Amino acid sequence: MKMSDIIEDFIKDMLSSGDGNIEIRRNELAEHFRCVPSQINYVISTRFTTENGYIVESRRGGGGFISIKRVGPINDNSIMHLINCIGDEIDFQSAQACIKNLWEYDIISQREANIMITAISDKILVCDRPLRDKIRAVMLKSMLLYLI
């Protein structure tokens, strides 16, 4: 298992054992895992994203706390927030994470998730990257609006 996976699992266990909201110190976590603090930053910035259902806030001073909160059940407001976070373009990995999160919260079925992922995949959107990510964002936003 990679160090990043171990750190991710540790943080998720902390979130599960509490109320879905934790505050951690980056340096203390790095010491615990005997890694550099940038490894902690990498895990948090890539695995605890809005697309994956988390809100992360970083505070400087006092040891540099990082607050991670698991977003509650998805509702119309959180879907609108997700739509706004997508912006004008989105890559396949981020879009796939959004859809997976919807499935995990039982907003959509696994079949619907698979259809959505297939529709926005690079195999279907056969054009150059900047345009492909823009088309994907429009398609995903349209699918999300349908859920409201």
pLDDT digits (tens, 9 = 90+) for 41-74: 899 988 888 777 788 888 766 556 888 988 765 6
Q: Are strands 54-58 and 21-25 parallel, antiparallel or unpaired?
A: unpaired
pLDDT for 30 beyond 70:
yes
Predicted confidence at residue 59, as pLDDT, reads: 74
Which residues on adjacent β-strands are paired with residue 127? none
Domains in the chain, ordered, with CATH?
Answer: 3-70 (3.30.56.130), 76-147 (1.10.1200.150)
pTM value > 0.75: no
82 is written with which tokens? 């997700």
Provide the 8-state DSSP code for 99: H
Residue-averaged pLDDT of the chain: 87
pLDDT for 123 beyond 90:
yes
User: Could you tell me which residues come within 8 angstroms of residue 22 by beta carbon, excluding any fewer than 6 positions away?
Assistant: 11, 14, 15, 67, 68, 69
Average pLDDT over residues 117-134: 94
133 is written with which tokens? 């990510």
